[in-house]
Amino acid sequence: MKNILYATDYSQNSVAALRLAHLLTKKFDAKLFVMHVFDIPITLSTVSISHIKKEKRLLIENHNKLKEFCAEHLGDTWEGCSIDFIVEENASVVQGILENATKHEGDLIVVGTKGTSAVKDFLFGSATTAMIKKAPCALLAVPVMSPLEDFKTMVYATDFEQADIFAINRLVEIAKKFNSKISIVHISTSREYAGDQQMEWFKEMLIQKVTYDKMEFDLILDDDIFEGLNRYLVKSNASLLAMLERKDNSFSQKFLQTDMIKKMVSGSNVPLISFNIGGL
């Protein structure tokens, strides 16, 4: 991982994400891009000299504000790190972030979530959701209450897809930096056929292609997939949840198809990293 892009709106919602992005930057000796996207509402004077002056003033103000934000929440630890500050005017925050991720060859986008649950924000729709679906690279969504810690246990939720292997390989790159255990879990319902056999097949295939000695596999029987996964996260004391995002037949789509989603555990503070199949 060489380039990490962190985006902020200066709110408390994004502080935990900043600290985690900074930690990952140090672990990988990577370059950190800290950015803010602002919008000047379109008016009849949009192309006027006054508009241009206002844009220039806001660019300077936000550039200074970004530095102050980092200094306030990282202290002296951010000095000496490879950090670039990016301020951009764009009517779409999502588009501004994604364009810069592509421009700067980002390996990871880091954003904060408004609630205590990154999984909740992901499933119920938000700017984070839009970025997850369109991101050219992995995206890490960090809940506001997420503690800054080394990832002792990472959980990867699999639906036995071929692309899972590539995503897990990417996750292993992060796990090695933290000496983390990776728990690969599948939630099997009573309607699923031979989940245990599929798990054995997937395990054998994965071990042939991914080398990491701290992987374990779990098959959980639960007709409520979302709550089953949340209970597993608590039981395993997970500090990171990883998933694969793709247009069709993704694990997340299985979540979206169940009415039981409204019964979700709302207090989860586990960060969520999503690997977009287009960025693998």
Look up the CATH superfamily of 3-112: HUPs (3.40.50.620)
pLDDT digits (tens, 9 = 90+) for 17-68: 999 999 999 999 999 999 998 876 655 455 555 556 667 788 888 889 999 9
- Domain limits, the chain: 3-112, 153-267
Are 214 and 187 in contact, with CB atoms under 8 Å apart?
Answer: no
Two tokens at 206? Answer: 């994965």
CATH class of the structural domain 153-267: alpha beta
pLDDT digits (tens, 9 = 90+) for 100-137: 999 999 999 998 877 555 554 444 445 666 777 788 89
**pTM of structure:** 0.84
Nearest alpha carbon to residue 32 among 58, 2, 73:
2
Three-class secondary structure of residue 79 per DSSP: coil
